[in-house]
Amino acid sequence: MSSIRHRGFTLIELLVVIAIIAILAAILFPVFAQAREKARQTRCSSNEKQLVLALIQYVQDYDEQFPPANISDPSYVDIAGVAQNRQHWYGMITPYIKQGYANSQAGVKKDNVYICPDYAPIGAFGTSATSPQGTPQYSYAINENISPALAPGTPWNLANTAPLTLASINYPANQVLISEGAGARVFSAGDDTSADPPVPAGGSGYSDTNVNHDNNISHVLARGRHSGGSHYAFTDGHVKWVRSPNPSYTGVADVSGLTVVPTTDTSNITYKRSENTNAVGFYLDDTAGN
């Protein structure tokens, strides 16, 4: 009578299998991470596309005039039922978007069209006691050169703020309408050509002597959000991912002093068209003769 021996795996064989699995995991996990980031990037692009199409529909209904970035409106109540002291351009285009816009944090869902899937608070934008996560629904900023913003308490009319009209846009395929933002401002002037002066003594964390500083860093901090670049929606309605300078800025956006020094982008998205007429896009059309 013969006996049958059952041979198991040796320790060496088990270690080889484990090593192979570890190598495969090391190879595949970064691929999976890149795929997830690509999905978030696609979602962000879709968000901007919906926003820019809503803006274009708004323009068609309002004599081809773009909305202001924000207006004083103490009677405005957002979809969360929270009274606000102003209304942003987000709220003005909600009739053209299925999802309503909540200016307050209450009732805001992560999959809201106004929130970038890769939004993360940066520096001073995520450190205040009232808004420790910044304001995720400020993920996208309108071009202030097209849609000016008003100071709180200033009533809106065409005498004190004049958004541009569609007919006044000379290069609709190149002029930025919406960019990604850092969660502190709903608009951006796009100025990354120089650093601002220090915060005045006794002032807040925002510069009182140069109104562009908040606008600069909101755009500058977010323009490397997606794999070293970010999405821009242009006034003709198309959305494009554009690489940002690396690094996008130097310094730290802290609450004691805004020390961010933007890196000037002279080849992709420039502040002024005159800086590079061959750039992918620009915020301000200042070329002589236009």
Note whether 205 and 182 are within 8 A (CB).
no
pLDDT of residue 14: 81
User: Which pTM was predicted?
Assistant: 0.78
Per-residue pLDDT reduced to its tens digit, 51-101: 999 999 999 999 999 998 887 776 666 656 666 667 789 888 988 987 666
pLDDT of residue 257: 41
The answer, yes or no, to whether residue 130 has pLDDT greater than 60, is: no
Percent of the chain at pLDDT > 70 equals: 66
- Sign of the alpha-carbon torsion through 3, 8, 12, 17: positive
Lowest-confidence segment of 31-35, 166-170, 286-290 by average pLDDT: 286-290
Note whether 207 and 197 are within 8 A (CB).
yes
- The closest alpha carbon to 118, from 15, 45, 16, 186, belongs to 45
Amino acid letter, residue 224: G
Q: Is 185 left (phi over 0), alpha (psi -120 to 50) or beta?
A: beta
Higher pLDDT, 258 or 216: 216
The answer, yes or no, to whether residue 154 has pLDDT greater than 90, is: no
- DSSP code for 95: G
pLDDT of residue 209: 47
In Å, what is the CA distance from 145 to each residue of 11, 18, 53, 160? 69, 59, 19, 14
Amino acid letter, residue 105: Q
The answer, yes or no, to whether residue 195 has pLDDT greater than 90, is: no
Per-residue pLDDT reduced to its tens digit, 9-27: 677 878 888 888 888 877 7
The answer, yes or no, to whether residue 138 has pLDDT greater than 70, is: yes
Per-residue pLDDT reduced to its tens digit, 220-250: 888 999 989 999 999 999 999 999 999 988 8
